[in-house]
Amino acid sequence: MTPISVDANQNQGREFRTSTASTKVTEAELNELEQAAASSSMKLGEWIRDVLLRAAKSATGTVTPEHILTEIVGLQLFLTNALSPVACGGRLSAEQYQELMRNVKIHKHRAVREVIAQYVAGQPEEHHG
- pLDDT tens for 41-84 read 889 999 999 899 888 877 777 788 888 999 999 999 999 999 98
pTM of the model: 0.50
Q: How far is CA 66 from the centre of its chain?
A: 9
Q: How many domains does the chain have?
A: 2
Task: List pLDDT tens digits, range 6-42.
Answer: 444 444 556 888 999 899 999 999 999 999 899 888 8
Of 22, 45, 62, which one is at a domain's C-terminal end?
62
Structural domain contains residue 57:
yes
Q: CB count, 10 Å around CB of 95?
A: 8
- Does 8 reside within a domain? no
Domain that holds residue 114: 63-129
Q: In terms of domains, do 119 and 94 share one? A: yes
Q: Which of 8, 39, 62 is the last residue of a domain?
A: 62
